A and B are shown apart, each in its own frame.
Chain A
Amino acid sequence: MAFVPQLLFFLVLAFAAFIIRSRVLRIRDNIRLGKANPVNDRSGERWNNVLLVAFGQKKMFKKMIPATLHFFIYAGFLIINLEVLEFVIDGLAGTHRIFAPYLGSMYNLLMNFFEFLALAVLLACVVFLIRRNVIKVPRFRSPELTGWPLLDANLILITEIVLMSAIFTMNACDQLLQVHSEHYTATGTLFFSSFLMPLFSNLSQDALHVIERSAWWFHILGILGFAVYVTYSKHLHIFMAFVNTYYARLEPKGQINNMPVVTREVKSMLGIAPADAAPAGEPGRFGAKDINDLTWNQLAAAYSCTECGRCTAECPANLTGKKLSPRKIMMDVRDRMEEVGNSIAKGGKGLQDGKFLLDTYISREEINACTSCNACVEACPVLINPLDIILEMRRYVSMEESGAPAQWNGMFQNIETSFAPWKFPPSDRFKWANE
């Protein structure tokens, strides 16, 4: 019956892999709801962004305290996952600490380093829980951060604390067992968990064994559960941040994307288009009313948002009490994608459900409040651009509905008739020189 735990482990692993695979495919399909937008230029600069901004966390460090705490969790996540590799091999092969004999004294050093990181992660998560729930940092108190987003954030932090505690419990019992059992490979003293040993020292060998095994299973199940959960959560940023920093726009922030469809039309109106430049098929919708009017990169960006709210904390409109929150724009894009994706998967109406990103999720009051100042774009630690999406929605309202605010329509009219946004006669334009 010794193979039972191994079989069980294999089944759990396979099950987790199956769910993760189907979630990844769903997310891919959701992102593919967006318009094609091939990105195949300036790969050097793009990799540079991935290295500095995603891998190196460069923009995180604009705020030192959260950046440092986040760095511990990030480093812990990257490095402790090496230990998970050992867990998986042990689980499948029925071994215990399979790397220990090969690494010798290095193993002790590594395990102590992992324990240090685990403690750092644990403490960072405690501070983050306090920041979010007790100190109530303003950017964590926005209306869009109630309900699921708040629960999501707390769940992750608590899960990480519990997972790290499991490592310490497991290592403490393991060290006690090493004295008596051949199976428990000697690891040498593991500094941090050795402090927990007195808690367990009066227990019988059997009880220790049960606790150690339980902690082991708890930890690996926790990790696998976490991996599944991440695909439903804002914590997908741990993967998508790398994707997004690669595909982020490289043009100056002030430059708005051109609309070639409009260029063709304007050129033909002005009679400067070459005669054979027939428009390539239907022009489609101007601007964005729903997620399928955005590009796939804009949709992928929504999956890389971890709702930190640095954008919203810098937004001049939001700071002065307007409804606009750049973070909410990204959260809305993601929620709408999930809604459409789920509907399509169930054979439902998908995009034709009578709902739209604009109006159902994002109000006109929100998009009209933007000053296009790029503070949100500058603030984002993973190079998300909420401004691009806001401008696409303004294009839809203005060009498809002529529904811009009345004063903007007046401004448009002034430009058309007087060639200036104010209603002055064009003949007065050069008067300043003689005043």
Chain B
Amino acid sequence: MNVPTLAEMTAKGESPEIVFWVGCAGSFDDRAKRVTKAFVKILQAVGTKFAVLGPEETCTGDPARRAGNEFLFQMQAMSNITVLNGYQVKKIVTTCPHCFNTLKNEYPELGGTYEVIHHTTFINELIREGKIKMTGTSGFQGRKITYHDSCYLGRANNIYEAPREVLEALDADLVEMKRCKTNGLCCGAGGAQMFKEPEKGNKDINIERAEEAINTGASTIAVACPFCMTMMSDGVKNKEKEGQIVVRDLAELIVERQGL
């Protein structure tokens, strides 16, 4: 895949319309890497001039801050801001709601102010602007999809409609879980829980959520976050339902629909 880095682009004296912040999950986690590539395919298909930081990208510091290590968070934030400001970055898109929230809401106080947008909103805009055209038969008609709200998109940033509009544009049959939108149930990974075993309880949160998703009768769980992806996939596996229900990021569904 030919993905330009910001360093290369700058060396050529060019600048991108938008910087794609890939995130640690999108860079290292095998499942999330497929989402990263799906989103790159979309960017390339619509001809957006984008660049990634590549080896210059580092953790935003989100999990450190949520686990209480403010020093480490701010060290990460300051060094990222130095890099981003060095390249005079104006606009960032990211496939991770945690990176999105941190870059958008928490970097400005530390000197990093950018227009930050999550890929669900970005894709929705592409559809609205007609840059992604849903033509031909979709294969999505009658396919039941349930959307699992990421806490860091939904409650944290009030983004509930963009991902749903994307699903509707796919011509899929959107079925809601009882706990959705403002009442959406967390997948269990936020607040740095992704990086430790859960505390003692009688059930894992992702199992509770996967059961709810399975009970909708949907054949696809749509997610918009790499951590939700891991948690929901594990939950489905735990219930031995991998044969009936798949977990897909919205970007992957677009790629599938468009045959990219």
Contact = CB atoms under 8 A, between A and B. Distances in A.
Nearest to A287: B68
Contact of A420 (B24, B40, B66, B101): B24
A421 interface: yes
Given A255-B101, A321-B202, A412 B69 contact: yes
A374 B68 contact: no
A322 B199 contact: yes
B59 interface: yes
B208 interface: yes
Most buried by A among B71, B182, B194: B71
B196 A378 contact: no
B27 A320 contact: no
Contacts of B200: 321-323, 365
A321 B201 CA distance: 4
A377 B69 CA distance: 22
Contacts of A319: 185, 205, 208
Most buried by A among B66, B191, B204: B191
A386 B26 CA distance: 31
A374 B155 contact: yes
Contacts of B69: 398-399, 404, 408, 412
Nearest to B106: A255
Most buried by B among A259, A368, A399, A434: A368
Interface in A41-90: 62
A337 B174 CA distance: 48
Interface residues of B, number: 74
Nearest to B158: A252
B233 interface: no
B245 to A, nearest CB: 21
B70 to A, nearest CB: 5
B189 interface: yes
Interface in A391-415: 391, 393-399, 404-405, 407-408, 410-412, 415
Interface in B94-123: 101, 104-106, 109-110
A374 B156 contact: yes
Interface residues of A, number: 70
B260 interface: no
Interface stretch (A18-26, A113-121, A425-433): A425-433
Interface stretch (A4-12, A146-154, A263-271): A263-271
Contacts of B151: 371-375
Contacts of B70: 259, 262, 286-287, 395, 398-399
A422 interface: yes
A372 B58 contact: no
A395 to B, nearest CB: 4
B197 A407 contact: yes
A430 B65 CA distance: 25
Contacts of A270: 75, 78-79
Contacts of B191: 370-373
B76 interface: yes
B33 A372 contact: no
A176 B65 CA distance: 70
A248 to B, nearest CB: 15
A418 to B, nearest CB: 9
B74 A421 contact: no
B173 interface: no
B204 A320 contact: yes
Nearest to A398: B68
A322 B71 CA distance: 29
Given A266-B74, A420-B28, A421-B63, A429 B208 contact: no
A301 interface: no
Contacts of A106: none
A253 interface: yes
A415 to B, nearest CB: 5
A113 B65 CA distance: 55
A172 to B, nearest CB: 46
A109 B203 CA distance: 57
A320 B202 contact: yes
A412 B70 CA distance: 11
A324 B61 CA distance: 25
13 contacts: A252-B156, A256-B106, A259-B74, A262-B71, A317-B201, A371-B205, A372-B66, A374-B156, A399-B68, A399-B71, A421-B24, A422-B24, A432-B33
Q: Report, nearest first, the 5 A-B pairs whose CB atoms are least far apart.
A: A254-B156, A372-B191, A398-B68, A321-B202, A394-B68
Given A319-B208, A411-B195, 14 more contacts: A258-B109, A262-B70, A263-B74, A320-B201, A322-B198, A371-B190, A375-B186, A398-B69, A407-B197, A411-B63, A412-B72, A415-B63, A429-B27, A432-B33
